[in-house]
Amino acid sequence: MRFTLSCLLFCGLLIFMFCMDQKKSRLLVSGHRGASDIAPENTLVAIMKCVEFGADFTELDVQETKDGQIILLHDDDLKRTTNDSGFIWDKTWADLQQVDAGGWKSPEYTGEPIPLLETVIDSVRGKIKLNIEIKINGHQEKLEERVVAIIEKKNFVNDCIITSFNLASIEKVKRLNSKLKVGLIFDKMPDYDIFSTDWELVSVHHKLVTQHFVEQAHQAGKAVHVWMVNEPELMKKMIAHQVDCIITNRPEILLDLLGSNY
């Protein structure tokens, strides 16, 4: 009887340790503007590629049109990623519906539109989570309010995180809805204690990530999302540092790497 009980306790301990190890090693894979290495960034086709590959998240960039619509676009100007030009704040949603946001990447994507955030949420619900980066261009009027309103209307609070390079922006989002998880994006260390803030995560350039940095963040209860990680050797380095999420233009490469146990 005593031997049987000891065996059960030992087996239970092994199972617990295995589960804790699995939890600790669970790495989230995120696309960067979708699977942007192979598809046009910030388009629905690039985001659905992430779904197809099995990514956990994709990051995307949102801005505000002249008439207050929330769309996906990284740059202030349309020139680099569409067949049009001009600043986004001078364009209405009707203007953008005539724009090709895919042909610059490859002829096979010609005609791919600039999507609304609402359209993306409707398309990915239950398939992938979103890292919604708020892009501050100096001409926004109610960007945070409109983004939060869309998320609430779509009942998507638990399926996204909100990030920005702009501290005031993520603090505003947190005030608008305290249940939303937010994080500051940075590529150089801020001149204040980032670990004493009320953000749930930090989104940091890989050059700043060390084992010590990750440990500090985890001790402060913050997840570490790391970006610009596109090469396999760098992916391995970030995995070794036990970051929580890797943001990459090449989620398919990272997923293959994780599947192979390299």
Catalytic residues: 32, 74
| 170 Cβ contact list (under 8 Å, min separation 6) | 134, 162, 163, 164, 182, 183, 184, 199
Are 135 and 71 in contact by the 8 Å Cβ rule? The answer is no
CA atoms within 13 A on the CB side of 125: 11
Exposed / middle / buried, residue 55 (Cβ in 10 Å: 0-12, 13-18, 19+):
buried
CB atoms within 10 A of CB 262: 11
Are 119 and 44 in contact by the 8 Å Cβ rule? The answer is yes
What is the spatial distance between Cα 229 and Cα 176, in angstroms, rounded to a whole number?
Answer: 32
What is the spatial distance between Cα 255 and Cα 233, in angstroms, rounded to a whole number?
Answer: 14
CA atoms within 13 A on the CB side of 241: 27
Lookup: tokens for 233? 């050797």
Strand-pair category, 57-64 with 70-72: antiparallel
| 94 Cβ contact list (under 8 Å, min separation 6) | 67
Exposed / middle / buried, residue 139 (Cβ in 10 Å: 0-12, 13-18, 19+):
middle
